[in-house]
Amino acid sequence: MQTDTRFYIDGQFTDRPNAPLLPVVNPATEEVFGQVAAGSADDVDLAVAAAKRAFASFSKTSPEERMALLERVREGLEARTEEFAQAIVTEMGAQIGFARAGQVYFGVEHVRVAIEVLKTFRFQHLLEPNPGAPITIRREPIGVVAAITPWNWPLYQITAKVAPAIAAGCTVVLKPSELSPFSAMLFAEVMHEAGCPAGVFNLVNGTGDVVGNAMSGHPDVDMVSFTGSTRAGVLVAQGAAGTIKRVVQELGGKSPNVFLPDADFAGSIPKAVMGAMRNCGQSCAAPTRILVPADRLAEVEQLAADAANAIVVGDPLDEASVLGPLANGPQFTKVQGLIEAGIAEGAKLICGGPGRPEGLTRGYYAKPTIFSAVTTDMRVAQEEIFGPVVVIMPYTDLDDAERIANATVYGLSSHVQSASIDNARAFAHRIRAGQVHINFPAWSGYAPFGGYRQSGNGREYGVYGVEEYLETKAMLGY
């Protein structure tokens, strides 16, 4: 049994041996393999006080000093890649190859990008709209940041918040998901080994209703950066409202992947299926709605079924597996319920379905599942399933495709496939989402990420991510 009762507060690991313990379950075995201490509001008070004290000096450091700190963090993460990968496999079930090349690699990349942004970011510049009346604009760190991260991308979501916050000159109190806490504890060790000044980074484990609520409503927290469900995001925003703090949220998604009539269906439908099911579909930006011309539906169904049936689901430590289990029991139950709902509502099941894949009798494994002939009124077209489930939705013309693509409460990400870049660009303008990916481009940590509508507010990644942690001061007559 792996037990860790430490928090990281004010530059040191502080043991809480008498705190209640939270179990951590290996989703491949359904067995408890570890436990961590559950923090309290008092622990949050200590961490926030440390961050507030540290902010007084850290906010005045130079970009070069912060770059040097982040570079040491990046080196520490890279040196411990395998430790992070193994932890992520065990605590949330990511397949080992994907844990290394996706979960950990992209997490390190967020730190590298923050360093690159700092190299050219202008924290002060001059405006002169009228001769002789200069205005100096200064960008200053917002203060103490409460970062609340989810279980589906444990390291990636931490670095996407901590790295730009530190780049901006802020101090941080982190609450990682209690379902995937061990990779976060490794991150705290990396921060400590990198010589992070006391109080600049703090970590308190615990539940959202205790630690998360205490952080979001704390009067000395200046900003909350939250990634998670839309339901939880509402609670965070309500908790933060009493102190009028900034809240940046990256919430749910139901992203469309629109195949225009001239797209390469044979080459791109398999990519679309795999892209939607990466990380077992447990990604808020997963393009789980595939929109295709109605007269190509039968062809697409066959291509999609072939792609899904070729996906090997199994032990996440087995290099031959493509997908491991879903990350936890509640998520498994949710996914199974929505698959049943799709069948009940009349969606056409073309592969997969309820239950575990053949030969797997324990673990939160789900079958790669494809529904077709799905309409916008079905739950599987509207609700974020967060599992290896894809719905195919036929459209009659481009106006109909636009209507279907935008027929959700979300607007996080989207994809467009077309042989004509002009056609793809034109359709990209019609989608109400924070990102549009045209013809499967490479992921970039510089591209701002965030959503329209109930997918959240604010942006992460790159220069836009750093700017979220800054206030704007205008100095007239400076």
Whole-number mean pLDDT of the chain? 97
- Same domain? For 197 and 163 the reply is yes
In a domain, residue 449? The reply is: no
342, containing H or E segment? helix 329-344
Encode pLDDT of 240-259 as tens digits.
Answer: 999 999 999 999 999 999 99
- Same domain? For 391 and 467 the reply is no
Question: How far does CA 207 lie from the centroid of its chain?
Answer: 18
What's the confidence (pLDDT) of residue 131?
A: 81
Q: Please, are residues 434 and 274 in contact by the beta-carbon 8 Å criterion?
A: no
**CA distance between the termini of the chain:** 61
Encode pLDDT of 460-473 as tens digits.
Answer: 999 999 999 999 99
Residue 474 has a CB neighbour count (10 Å cut-off) of: 10
- Same domain? For 32 and 115 the reply is yes
Which percentage of the chain shows pLDDT scores above 70?
100
Length of the chain: 478
CA distance 293 to 300: 9
The residue-averaged pLDDT of 289-316 equals 98
- Same domain? For 210 and 85 the reply is yes
Question: How far does CA 259 lie from the centroid of its chain?
Answer: 25
Catalytic residue among 91, 109, 178, 250: 250
- Same domain? For 295 and 232 the reply is no
Catalytic residue among 170, 196, 280, 284: 284
Confidence check: pLDDT of 180 > 90: yes
In a domain, residue 140? The reply is: yes
pLDDT band for position 79 (cuts 50, 70, 90): very high
Burial of 452 (0-12, 13-18, 19+ CB in 10 A): middle
Q: To which residue do tokens 């570890």 refer?
A: 34
- Same domain? For 76 and 211 the reply is yes
What's the confidence (pLDDT) of residue 267?
A: 97
Q: At how many degrees (to 10) do helices 63-79 and 154-168 cross? A: 160
What's the confidence (pLDDT) of residue 453?
A: 96
- Same domain? For 340 and 460 the reply is no
Phi, psi of 112 (to 5 degrees): -60, -45
Query: Is 189 in the active site?
Result: no
Confidence check: pLDDT of 268 > 90: yes
Burial of 35 (0-12, 13-18, 19+ CB in 10 A): middle
Residue 23 structure tokens: 């179990």
Q: To which residue do tokens 């009539």 refer?
A: 261
Q: Residue 348 sits in a domain of what CATH number?
A: 3.40.309.10
Query: Is 280 in the active site?
Result: no
The 3-state secondary structure of 101-126, one letter per residue: HHHHHHHHHHHHHHHHHHHHCCCEEE
What's the confidence (pLDDT) of residue 294?
A: 98
In a domain, residue 221? The reply is: yes
- Same domain? For 310 and 437 the reply is yes
The identity of residue 399, as a single letter, is D
- Same domain? For 464 and 412 the reply is no
- Give CA angle at 92 (444, 86), nearest 5°: 80
What's the confidence (pLDDT) of residue 478?
A: 86
Give the chain's domain count. 2
Closest by alpha carbon to 308, among 293, 292, 322, 289? Answer: 322
CA distance 327 to 431: 31
What's the confidence (pLDDT) of residue 132?
A: 78
Closest by alpha carbon to 440, among 211, 270, 208? Answer: 270
In sequence order, the β-bridge partners of residue 249 are 226, 457
CA distance 335 to 341: 10
In a domain, residue 207? The reply is: yes
Structural domain of 57: 2-251+455-476
- Same domain? For 173 and 198 the reply is yes
Encode pLDDT of 95-143 as tens digits.
Answer: 999 999 999 999 999 999 999 999 999 999 999 887 878 899 999 999 9
Which percentage of the chain shows pLDDT scores above 90?
97
Q: Residue 31 sits in a domain of what CATH number?
A: 3.40.605.10
What's the confidence (pLDDT) of residue 446?
A: 96
What's the confidence (pLDDT) of residue 323?
A: 98
CA distance 127 to 137: 7
In a domain, residue 158? The reply is: yes
What's the confidence (pLDDT) of residue 133?
A: 82
The residue-averaged pLDDT of 439-449 equals 96
The residue-averaged pLDDT of 441-464 equals 96
In a domain, residue 317? The reply is: yes
In a domain, residue 87? The reply is: yes
- Same domain? For 91 and 107 the reply is yes
What's the confidence (pLDDT) of residue 450?
A: 97
What is the value of pTM for the model shown? 0.96
Q: Where are the alpha helices (DSSP H) in 169-296?
A: 182-193, 213-216, 230-241, 265-277
In a domain, residue 409? The reply is: yes
- Same domain? For 287 and 239 the reply is no
